[in-house]
Amino acid sequence: MFRCLLLATALCSVAYSYTFTSNEGTSFEGEILRVESGSVTVKRDLDKEEFTIPQSLFSEKDQAYFKKWAAENPQLNFPGRNVTQISLRCTTARTDDESIIRETGRTFVDIDVSNSVYWDYDWITVETMVTATARAETEKVRLKGVTVHVKASSISGPVYTRIYTAFFVKSGGAPKVFKLDKRNVMVDRGQGELYASCSPVENYYGYGTVAINLATGKMIGVSGSNHQIEQILKRKVSLGDFQN
């Protein structure tokens, strides 16, 4: 494997990021992608090919460099670099409903009319009293909050993920995120779950969840209470709103 790397590298001369040297003294140029126990994955600069090679084939200097690199770049060694899709399913575990009484800003005026009638020999006297009472108009406002149960599963091996659960309200006619829950979760076959909650809020619209592969920084799952929320979350990921 090491000799094949050297042969291809010798065919071209370009600017390299690091010079790897075997324990026999031969070398090639490239960059580290991942360091694991006993092996290292590198990308050869010449043709951008990736290879996983035993660390024992490299010089002592390189092996020390691998150890230092792994300590300085822990996120690059998260499991699941090859996982591009996971199953992500959300259900409403609990719904909290409340309400408040709120003034609308308008004023009601209540008019009370009362009459008093008196008889005195040949005539009748009628006295009319009008009373006006002002009061603020009120309305009952419904508030809603939920707890969401997020379940994730990977069929292609374990993957370390960051799961964002976003809760939306309708503001100005458009859905907007008012709370964002962020968790790091290890996902494997049939494993990986969390509960995320939001307190009761006015104009509650729904929720959605996005899973980011921490090894690659790419989205590997999305789920929402409706299609519009899923599209909003995908757009936010593409714009970099959810950062690792």
pLDDT tens digits along 113-148 = 887 877 777 778 778 888 889 888 889 999 999 999
pLDDT for position 1: 52
The residues pairing with 131 across neighbouring beta strands, listed in sequence order, are 112
Return the higher-pLDDT residue of 31 and 79.
31
Return the higher-pLDDT residue of 12 and 18.
18
Token pair belonging to 1 = 């494997």
Per the domain annotation, does 82 fall within a domain?
A: no
Report strand pairing: 50-54 vs 87-120: unpaired
Confidence of residue 13 (pLDDT cuts 50, 70, 90): very low
Region 216-221: mean pLDDT is: 92
Q: Which domain holds residue 124?
A: 105-138
Per the domain annotation, does 243 fall within a domain?
A: no
The residues pairing with 95 across neighbouring beta strands, listed in sequence order, are 146
Instruction: Give yes or no: residues 91 and 189 share one domain.
Output: yes
Instruction: Give yes or no: residues 154 and 200 share one domain.
Output: yes
Instruction: Give yes or no: residues 114 and 25 share one domain.
Output: no
Confidence of residue 244 (pLDDT cuts 50, 70, 90): low
pLDDT for position 54: 92
Return the higher-pLDDT residue of 102 and 223.
223
Query: Is 16 buried (19+), middle (13-18) or exposed (0-12) by CB count in 10 A?
Result: middle
pLDDT in tens, 48-107: 888 888 999 999 999 999 988 888 877 777 888 889 999 999 999 999 999 999 888 898
**Buried/exposed 29-52: b ≥16 CB within 10 Å, e otherwise:** bbebbbbeeeebbbebbbeeeebe
Instruction: Give yes or no: residues 153 and 112 share one domain.
Output: no
Do the Cβ atoms of 205 and 183 come closer than 8 Å?
no
Percent of the chain with pLDDT over 90: 48
Region 166-187: mean pLDDT is: 93
Confidence of residue 233 (pLDDT cuts 50, 70, 90): very high
> Is the entire prediction scored with pTM above 0.75?
no
Instruction: Give yes or no: residues 196 and 210 share one domain.
Output: yes
| Dist. CA 67–CA 60, nearest whole Å | 11
| Dist. CA 240–CA 244, nearest whole Å | 9
Instruction: Give yes or no: residues 32 and 8 share one domain.
Output: yes
